[in-house]
Structure 1
Amino acid sequence: MKRFTRRAAIIGTGAIAAAHAEALRAHGDRVQTVAVHDLALDRAEAFAEAWRIPSVHASIDELLANEIDLVHLCTPPSTHLPIALRCLEAGVTVLVEKPPTLSLAELDRLAEAAAKSGAYLATVFQHRFGSGAAHLRGLVDAGTLGPSLLATCHTLWYRDDAYFQVPWRGKWETEGGGPTMGHGIHQFDLLLSVLGDWERVTAIAARRSRPVQTEDVSMALVEFADGTVASVVNSVVSARQTSSLRFDFEKATIELDHLYGYSDADWTVTPAPGSPDVTWPAGTSKSGHHDQIGLLLDALDAGIEPPVSVGDTRRTMEFIAALYASAATGQQVRRGDIKDGHPFYGSMNGNRWTFG
């Protein structure tokens, strides 16, 4: 397969932008970071100097005129839709940070724009791309572990009141939700990437402590298409922080315990009694932006949709909408229930549900 040298730009120079710049630099033989934009021009200039990015642009239109192939979108969530639309309409592929949009309706608009322009939209869900997660999906696909039976997914983090003083955080109209939308999303996206289609969700959510409009904790019971049952817990009030996943298969239990990123050493395997040992890779790759960007570049070279595709993203976003809808109404929500015209299609709080 022929390799091309891509021209990338970073829009938004907050904390997460450094992870993108570092990963792009690691693939420097395949992609050049040539431009940066931020509403705070001085911050953009400092970022460009730190990462040796040659040009800083005062506007997105000016940046897009710079023969850009790929935009890394690292701005606050409420800006993702308008900026991504401009990029896609210009024929530029977009890799967008989580959450990709504030609602299913917004995501569907971006999907339409991508299909019309021929450019691609992909979402940063970097936990899918560590070698441990790839190995687990391979074992599942091969049937090595037997049927999936039970799973748990816990994102128990701590964010103090000061964290929410950033104006866009903790508000439905600017962040789209609480820890379900902005924190636990990485863990349960990994869960979904392993277990596949979910079928129904029963959930609760509450604001227990933080000065926000949204929830600060949520819990969901989930049934998957293959019959697997799972629990998903998201929190920003937990003093002992952990990110953990557990998969109970017929022939083994697979567990992952880490915080903000994992290596192969963070996975454990417990064979069921009478079952053979399961081999596990050692020290190959960590979760993070590096592997996802490498696979994105591979896809662009091949002319195919990169991971995580709009379809992959939509399954995760629909799960979030279903969790919120169930928590707000007290009713079980099935996959496919939330569509155009449903209150939770256009916003994750149904345009009315709030805790603050």
Structure 2
Amino acid sequence: MTPDDDELTFGVEEEFFLVDAAGELVPRGPEVVDGTTERDGELQRELISSQVETATPVCRTSAALLDGLTSLRDDLARGAAARGLRLLASGTPVLPGSGHEITRKPRYHRMAEQFGAIARSSATCGCHVHVGVADRETAVRVSNHTRAWLPVLLAITANSPIDGGTVTGYRSWRHVLWSRWPSAGPPPMFVSLEHYENSVAAMLRSGAMMDRAMLYWDVRLSDKQPTLEFRIGDVAASAEEATLAAVLIRGLVRLALRDVAADRAPVSTPDEVLRANLWRAARDGLGGSCLHPESGELVPIWTVVDELVANLREPLGASGDLDFALDVLSRLRSTGGGADRQLAAYRRRERLTDVVDEQCV
């Protein structure tokens, strides 16, 4: 993949909860996945049996990605409805209750045994964006160039302010919960692919990961696909918002590829500062502030969003994504992000079921 390739491929994986008519989690994910026929893409089981996952085909345009995401959501929603269930697009479950059973799969049960309550209480749903970067050495360098922008991506995608009936005080409580995994969090800066692989190997030896699939960094090299995978986002409230996250990430990757080709140095944000900034973005979402990725000053999130789009204007224009990104961001500026809309739905009558109705596909 060359830096100037305007057909940089991408795809998205989305996780969802299954809930009943009352909005409570239902541990029937494997049944719904096995009984649903998708038109294009994949449906997959998840660690928690009340969850399901979709994966789009490899896409070249935002229009194709949006169509794929919409189709997969529709397919799963129909499969759920046929069983009296609904598909909930929220990073954490809205209502209290059970439904946190581990899916019957040997690997998942080994995870539960090794990681205890971290695994058994990991009912969170994320959005994972894959961007095609075949050369793994290059992918490591791209990760270095994109990591400073992870907080603003988290703020844009934040969609989990309520967890099990509790208003958490965070816009992305999923991020806070997911950070408990010992292999989660922002990726370090790596000097080479060898450095990356040595770090992964050491984490495996420590037992912090059971296998390479448990490398949960916010950006990681995929072992199954020739891609760089961004795992920073909550599952989006809408297919349009998931597509927005994907086109911004692809734009960042394209910009990073050009910087790598020109041998420009990345912004080197210390790990502890990046973690602090991710905490701030998880708490505040789009309505708050975060540290500017370059200056380190505390500024409104929207200031950083606007600067991100300005930086990406040329690559987004080259891929035909600029107007789409500006349109969806304009709507988010008016309505708030997914977390803001969840809270608004709750505050109207202080009924959690209203939030479930707001977020069901």
TM-score over 0.5 for the alignment?
Answer: no
TM-score between the two structures when normalised by the length of structure 2: 0.22
TM-score between the two structures when normalised by the length of structure 1: 0.23
Compare relative contact order (CA 8 Å, sep 6+) and give the higher one, 1 or 2. 2
The structure whose Rg is larger is 1
